[in-house]
Structure 1
């Protein structure tokens, strides 16, 4: 099938898009909308960027991507796209014969039903707030926010002891819960990151990296290898801490005879009153559910302003332009 047929089918799909439809790029997860559909190009507008928010996507680049997809039996790998190239597969996914597989990191041509990079719709700002089930960090974070609003943490020495205890307990719980969730998120992300290519979202970017952990082989094996290389074993033998502790247990020596000891004091969470936390949490939920009128509107305005400031400070921006690689790749 010639590309001209595929192109005009894609243009028809774009013309039929409901007004305000939002798509998302598979690599950077940038949201964008189609502003204009022309014979030789498609004009898109990014919703999460302060610069380069409007961009033309050229027909010849779509054709190059089409050729790569049809030439590869397993699909075209998304990480081979040039910088800022992922709007192209997102738009092409609207064609009924092309589909983006984010888990596999490819865009493929298929004869069966396909999914698209089209979002279901913008979140309804008037929708009632609901608590995610089984997410401990949400409940503890809500309690922490409440504590931060009720106390002036800018002047910690002036705070009452019980308030400091509550604050420390909540901070500890949020840290633990957030770290557990962070590890779960990282496990899923690891399968979606390819070849150390950074992937960005509205608040930052992540990258797949490799960490090296070393552990010595069996002592005799290590010593034998070093001796064969001309290293005398006395040069690498040292004091084994575990063996020293075992020796202390069977002698009259004290720790101070063999250790330099420095003591430091710290605060450790001893216990958590879960029942008290749950009572306070339920009160906060009821308060949020009952919020309406001008107070609710002011709260939403404050949240939107805060989100805007955070986005301005943390958004990953790229000034790179889409271009054709050597060899004709998009």
Structure 2
């Protein structure tokens, strides 16, 4: 394929990427997104630093000429060349494996290991945000005060989305813990817009090794039998290698619960796009009404917080 044709194909592939999709560099694995294309460049932004960089057409030509001479070893790619290599693999005449990038007339355009779909490219805070939006949209359309009256699909979606929001927000909360501890002194409180936190200390005890514990007991004349008991791990080993029955040594209680076994991220992302499209399609009057409603909610929250 001629350089002009390849360049046109690369631009089309970049422009056809779904919103939110990212590419990763082959060696350093830095994520970057396509911001726009032009006649002489493709502009990308790196997700780990926010750096914007132009990938120039003439540099693509140089890289493609090298590929015409033979395959290029991925491990030999220089950092400045890596994003060019990732973009080139979007074209339908170049392919890659774990070791090389090469010219291949049978390659399938867009099928590259360096392309991360939008559903997978979101970072944890984005996932929490998106799941919370989906949960809010679901709650607007159902009566969650009476779960037993919900149809099975809605009840399942409520459970799955609530679980996703819970786990995602809990991970986000834990990520904020250490930075907060660095800013809170003893007996100090920090006040945010929505609440207050303080430093709390709790002790977690674990027994010392058996020799140390027994020595301390012997020194004070305390019988060792007072602290010795059944070791569950050892008991499980005995159950595994003998004919001892579980019900002979364990009281077994059955706890029935609902377990989330799968999440359809593609469906969630599609639904998110639908919500975003509806917001974009709001007419000016509806958009203004929505903004006024949000401002009113914010004012009432401010008043409530001030009164408290």
Q: TM-score range by the shorter chain?
A: 0.5 to 0.7
**Deviation readout 1:248-267 (Å, 9 max, x if unpaired):** 12222211111111102100
Q: Does the CA-based 8 Å contact 2:189-2:199 persist in structure 1? A: yes
Counterpart CA distance in 1 for 2:301 and 2:214 is: 55
Gaps of 5+ in 1: 1-130, 318-330
Q: Find the counterpart in structure 2 of residue 225 from structure 1.
A: 216
Matched, 1:234 2:225: yes
Counterpart CA distance in 2 for 1:132 and 1:301 is: 31
What is the DSSP-based 3-state SS (H/G/I as helix, E as strand, rest coil) of the residue aligned with 1:154? coil
Q: Find the counterpart in structure 2 of residue 271 from structure 1.
A: 262
Q: Find the counterpart in structure 2 of residue 287 from structure 1.
A: 278
Counterpart CA distance in 2 for 1:276 and 1:159 is: 21
Counterpart CA distance in 2 for 1:258 and 1:312 is: 61
Which of 150, 156, 159 aligns to 1:165? It is 156
Matched, 1:214 2:205: yes
> Which protein has the bigger helix share?
2
In structure 2, the CA distance between the partners of 1:311 and 1:213, relative to structure 1 (3 Å rule), is: farther
In structure 2, the CA distance between the partners of 1:152 and 1:227, relative to structure 1 (3 Å rule), is: same
Q: CA RMSD in A?
A: 2.3
Q: Does the CA-based 8 Å contact 1:197-1:208 persist in structure 2? A: yes
Q: Find the counterpart in structure 1 of residue 64 from structure 2.
A: none
Gaps of 5+ in 2: 1-121
Q: Find the counterpart in structure 2 of residue 54 from structure 1.
A: none
Aligned 1:177-256 pairs, distance under 5 A: 177-256=168-247
What is the DSSP-based 3-state SS (H/G/I as helix, E as strand, rest coil) of the residue aligned with 1:244? helix
Aligned 1:1-330 pairs, distance under 5 A: 135-311=126-302
Q: How far is the alpha carbon of 1:308 from its aligned partner?
A: 4.2
What is the DSSP-based 3-state SS (H/G/I as helix, E as strand, rest coil) of the residue aligned with 2:242? coil
Q: Does the CA-based 8 Å contact 1:203-1:315 persist in structure 2? A: no
Q: Does the CA-based 8 Å contact 1:198-1:206 persist in structure 2? A: yes
Counterpart CA distance in 1 for 2:146 and 2:199 is: 40
Higher relative contact order (CA 8 A, sep 6+): 1
Q: How far is the alpha carbon of 1:136 from its aligned partner?
A: 1.1
What is the DSSP-based 3-state SS (H/G/I as helix, E as strand, rest coil) of the residue aligned with 1:206? strand
